[in-house]
């Protein structure tokens, strides 16, 4: 699971011609949890720009390049170990997010000097990680650094061994709001129709790996990894069961709920609304072809009085197999998916609610976050 270790984002309209509302914190939801994330090459050639053809770009090195904890009993916690990131490139490096994926319940980032930090060439920042095994055997997590360097996100693999007796298989509900045996997977979020929703189920104990199943409300899909994605279409509160199975065949089942409302109304009449803004998407060559795209934000029904924004993203010349599903984020929060056919595809137009896009960037990744490899392939300029 990717756990957000960071900050909230507030609106700064930067001199925009139309007044915009103060932006809610990432539409009221936590950043996407990621499971089993492994980053690898997808035949991407990094490009740079500079005088006389020189490449000017940030680059990242890590010390250590991987981290290993000594084996310890389940239920105990290690002393922290440190990972240092250094900008070895020739331009400033900015870390927007540092988060874990994989056996995330076993490892915790307890100190982070990198997220939200800009490093000049040669400068460094550090994070500290502890290990608390939830089951026996080898436990592995990826620490994912999302930044403006080519190949983002960069990954440091952390491993440790659990000893002793494994706890029984159980569903972990610490990231949900639970009452009377039912856990709300959308508590504190803006969950409404025509709005992209995602979360992740987690388990502990038993014998990993885990496989998830269950019938979620209409419009949502539960993947075997535990990743939930989609656009909920059933209004009101739905209650459903989700089951996890481990490698030995043991199972655990939990009761969950999700409350979905109608999309917010447009801005009241008499308020000065925004317009339609677009940003071009670009990225390095993939398998000999240079991809491109356009992100369009329609803010004509959005103002400081309320209302909503609409977002759509289209890409072309993405030389990946037909049926490949791309992952789209805005300001590093998930906003949709694109299915590739003939190198092209378009994300459904989603309602962002009362959220302005000023100074945000669209990033497109080459797969869903629970599929390897997972790598940024396109990025847009900051909306203005």
What does the pLDDT read at residue 45? 35
Judged by phi (left if over 0) then psi (alpha if -120 to 50, else beta), residue 270 lies in: left
- Percent of the chain scored above 90 by pLDDT? 70
Task: Tell me the CATH number at 298.
Answer: 2.60.40
- Strand, helix or coil for residue 68: strand
Classify residue 27 by its DSSP letter: G
Angle, CA of 222, 228 and 231, to the nearest 5°: 105
Residues 157 and 29 in one domain: yes
Q: What is the pLDDT of residues 192-206, one digit of tens each?
A: 999 999 999 999 999
Residues 243 and 294 in one domain: no
Q: Is residue 4 part of a domain?
A: no
Residues 51 and 144 in one domain: yes
From the list 97, 16, 27, 15, the residue with the least C-alpha distance to 335 is 27
From the list 361, 312, 320, 363, the residue with the least C-alpha distance to 339 is 320
Which of 110, 137, 163 is the C-terminal boundary of a domain? 163
Q: What is the pLDDT of residues 66-88, one digit of tens each?
A: 999 999 999 899 999 999 999 99
Instruction: Evaluate if residue 183 carries a pLDDT over 70.
Output: yes
Q: Is residue 247 part of a domain?
A: yes
Instruction: Compute the CA torsion angle 300, 302, 308, 314 (nearest 10 deg).
Output: 40
From the list 123, 117, 137, 155, the residue with the least C-alpha distance to 40 is 155
From the list 318, 275, 314, the residue with the least C-alpha distance to 42 is 318
Residues 207 and 314 in one domain: no
Q: Spell out the SS3 assignment of 272-338.
A: CCCCEEEEEEECCCECCECCEEEEEEECCCEECCEECEEEEEEEECCCCCCCCEEEEEECCEEEEEE
Q: Is residue 129 part of a domain?
A: yes
Burial (CB count within 10 angstroms: exposed 0-12, middle 13-18, buried 19+), residue 221 = exposed
CB 110 within 8 A of CB 128: yes
Q: What is the pLDDT of residues 14-24, one digit of tens each?
A: 333 333 333 33
What does the pLDDT read at residue 54? 55
CB 157 within 8 A of CB 166: no
Q: Is residue 7 part of a domain?
A: no
State the average pLDDT over residues 355-383: 90
Task: State how far the Cα of 125 lies from the Cα of 177, in Å rounded to an integer.
Answer: 34
- Number of domains making up the chain: 3
Residues 184 and 236 in one domain: yes
Q: Is residue 10 part of a domain?
A: no
Task: State how far the Cα of 293 lies from the Cα of 150, in Å rounded to an integer.
Answer: 18
Residues 48 and 100 in one domain: yes
Q: Is residue 253 part of a domain?
A: yes
- Strand, helix or coil for residue 341: strand
Task: Tell me the CATH number at 215.
Answer: 2.60.40.10
**In whole angstroms, how far apart are CA 98 and each of 20, 140, 142, 210?**
29, 16, 10, 24
CB 24 within 8 A of CB 9: no
Residues 183 and 154 in one domain: no
Q: Which tokens belong to 282? A: 């670009």
What does the pLDDT read at residue 102? 79
Instruction: Evaluate if residue 35 carries a pLDDT over 50.
Output: no
Outline where DSSP puts E strands in 46-89. 60-63, 66-68, 72-73, 81-87
Residues 59 and 131 in one domain: yes
Q: Is residue 208 part of a domain?
A: yes
- How many Å is the Cα radius of gyration of the chain? 21
What does the pLDDT read at residue 8? 25
What does the pLDDT read at residue 104? 84
The parent domain of residue 81 ranges over: 25-163
Residues 83 and 30 in one domain: yes
Among 104-108, 147-151, 309-313, 359-363, the range with the most confident prediction by mean pLDDT is 309-313
Q: How many helices (H) and strands (E) would you count in the chain?
A: 0, 31
What does the pLDDT read at residue 212? 98
27 φ/ψ angles, rounded to the nearest 5 degrees: 55, 30
Confidence of residue 236 (pLDDT cuts 50, 70, 90): very high
Which of 113, 137, 163 is the C-terminal boundary of a domain? 163
Task: State how far the Cα of 318 lies from the Cα of 291, in Å rounded to an integer.
Answer: 5
Q: Is residue 14 part of a domain?
A: no
The residue ranking higher by pLDDT, 131 or 359, is: 131
Residues 31 and 158 in one domain: yes
State the average pLDDT over residues 235-264: 96
Instruction: Evaluate if residue 322 carries a pLDDT over 70.
Output: yes
Residues 145 and 193 in one domain: no
Which of 148, 163, 178 is the C-terminal boundary of a domain? 163
Alpha-carbon 171 to chain mean position? 21
Residues 155 and 185 in one domain: no
Confidence of residue 382 (pLDDT cuts 50, 70, 90): confident
What does the pLDDT read at residue 55? 61
Among 104-108, 154-158, 317-321, the range with the most confident prediction by mean pLDDT is 317-321
Burial (CB count within 10 angstroms: exposed 0-12, middle 13-18, buried 19+), residue 173 = middle
The residue ranking higher by pLDDT, 133 or 54, is: 133
In the predicted model, what is the mean pLDDT of the chain?
85
Q: Which tokens belong to 141? A: 């997590």
Q: Which tokens belong to 198? A: 């995602």
State the average pLDDT over residues 155-170: 93
What does the pLDDT read at residue 47? 38
State the average pLDDT over residues 219-229: 97
């Amino acid at each position: 699971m990717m756990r957000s270790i960071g900050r909230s984002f507030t609106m700064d309209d930067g001199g925009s011609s139309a007044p915009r509302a103060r932006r809610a914190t990432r539409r009221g939801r936590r950043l996407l949890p990621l499971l089993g994330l492994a980053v690898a090459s997808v035949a991407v050639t990094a490009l740079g720009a500079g005088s006389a053809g020189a490449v000017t770009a940030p680059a990242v090195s890590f010390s250590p390049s991987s981290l290993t904890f000594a084996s310890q009993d389940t239920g105990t916690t290690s002393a922290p170990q440190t990972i240092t990131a250094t900008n070895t490139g020739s331009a400033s490096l900015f870390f927007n997010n540092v988060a874990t994926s994989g056996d995330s319940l076993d490892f915790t980032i307890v100190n982070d000097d990198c997220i939200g930090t800009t490093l000049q060439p040669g400068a460094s920042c550090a994070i500290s990680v502890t290990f608390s095994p939830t089951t026996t055997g080898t436990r592995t997590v990826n620490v994912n650094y999302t930044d403006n360097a080519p190949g983002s996100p960069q990954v440091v693999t952390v491993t440790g061994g659990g000893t002793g007796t494994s706890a029984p298989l159980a569903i972990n509900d610490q990231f949900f709001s639970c009452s009377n045996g039912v856990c709300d997977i959308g508590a504190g979020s803006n969950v409404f129709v025509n709005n992209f929703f995602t979360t992740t189920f987690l388990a502990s104990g038993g014998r990993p790996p885990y496989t998830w199943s269950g019938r979620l409300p209409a419009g949502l899909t539960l993947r075997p990894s535990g990743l939930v994605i989609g656009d909920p279409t059933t209004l009101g509160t739905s209650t459903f069961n989700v089951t996890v199975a481990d490698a030995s065949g043991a199972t655990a089942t939990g009761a969950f709920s999700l409350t979905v409302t109608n999309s917010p109304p447009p801005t009241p009449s008499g308020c000065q609304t925004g317009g339609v803004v677009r940003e071009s998407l670009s990225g390095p060559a993939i398998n000999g072809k240079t991809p491109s795209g356009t992100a369009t934000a329609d803010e004509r029904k959005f103002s400081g009085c309320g209302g909503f924004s609409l977002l759509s993203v289209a890409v072309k010349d993405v030389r990946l197999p037909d049926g490949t599903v791309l992952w789209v984020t805005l300001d590093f929060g998930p906003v949709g998916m694109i299915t590739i056919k003939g190198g092209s595809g378009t994300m459904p137009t989603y309602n962002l609610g009362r959220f302005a896009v000023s100074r945000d960037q669209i990033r497109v990744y080459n797969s869903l976050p629970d599929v390897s490899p997972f790598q940024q392939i396109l990025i847009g300029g900051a909306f203005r």
